[in-house]
Amino acid sequence: LPVVAVVGAPNVGKSSLVNRILGRRRAVVAEEPGTTRDRGYARAEWAGREFLLVDTGGMEPAARMGLEALVTLQARVAVEEADVIVHLTDARTGPTEADAAIARELLRSGAEVVLAVNKLDDPSDDTERYRFYALGEGEPHPVSALHGIGVGDLLDEVVSRLPETTPPVEEDLLPGIAIIGRPNVGKSTLLNRLLGQERAVVSEAAGTTTDVVESEVEVELDGGLRERFALLDTAGVGRRAHRARGVPYYSALRTGGAIRRAAVSLLVVDAVEGLVAGDLQLARQVEEAGRSLGVLLNKRDLVPASRLRELEEQAAVRLPDLKPPVLAISALTGSGVEKVLPFAAGLHRAFTAKIPTHELAEYVNRLTADNTPPRGVKIRYATQTGTAPPRFTLFATRPGDLPENYLRYLENALRERYELYGVTLKLKLKSSR
Ligand code: GDP
For 40-67, the pLDDT digits (tens) are: 677 788 877 888 888 776 555 444 556 6
DSSP state of 219: E
Type of residue found at 304 = P
Distance between CA atoms of residues 433 and 139, nearest Å: 8
The DSSP result for 355-383, as a single string, is: --HHHHHHHHHHHHHHSPPSTT--EEEEE
For the Cβ of 184 lying below 6 angstroms from any atom of ligand 1, the answer is yes
The answer to whether 368 is a known ligand-binding residue is: no
Q: Is residue 64 part of a domain?
A: yes
**The pLDDT of residue 156 is above 60:** yes
Of the candidates 422, 429, 340, the residue with the CA atom closest to the CA atom of residue 388: 422
Residue 170 lies in a domain: no
Would you say residue 375 lies in a domain?
A: yes
11 Cβ inside 6 Å of ligand 1: no
Name the domain boundary from 327, 351, 375.
Answer: 351
Amino acid symbol at 203: S
ipTM over cut 0.85 = yes
Mutate to test the pocket of ligand 1, among 269, 332, 335 (most ligand atoms within 8 A of CB): 332
Last residue of a domain, one of 351, 369, 397: 351
Over residues 406-428, the mean pLDDT reads: 90
Confirm whether residue 12 is marked as ligand binding.
yes
Name the residue range of residue 69's domain: 3-161
Q: Is 188 in the pocket of ligand 1 (CB under 6 A)?
A: yes
- Which residues are bridge partners to 27 per DSSP? none
246 Cβ contact partners less than 8 Å away, ≥ 6 residues apart: 183, 236
Give dist(CA 330, CA 299) in Å, integer.
5
Query: What are 290-341's pLDDT values in tens digits?
Result: 999 999 999 999 999 999 999 999 999 999 989 999 999 999 999 999 999 9
Which residues are CB-contacts of 34 (< 8 A; sequence separation ≥ 6)? none
In a domain, 166, yes or no: no
In a domain, 210, yes or no: yes
Question: At residue 25, does pLDDT exceed 60?
Answer: no
**Is residue 208 over pLDDT 50?**
no
Q: Is 56 annotated as a binding residue?
A: yes
Asked if 263 contacts 179 with a C-beta cutoff of 8 angstroms, the reply is: no
**Do 136 and 181 belong together in one domain?**
no
**In a shared domain, residues 247 and 184:** yes
Does 89 or 36 have the greater pLDDT score? 89
pLDDT beyond 90 at 179: yes
Final residue of a structural domain among 137, 161, 185: 161
Q: Which atom of ligand 1 is nearest the CA belonging to 189?
A: 7
The helix/strand/coil state of 309 is helix
* Average pLDDT, integer, range 403-426: 90
The CATH number of the domain holding residue 148 is 3.40.50.300
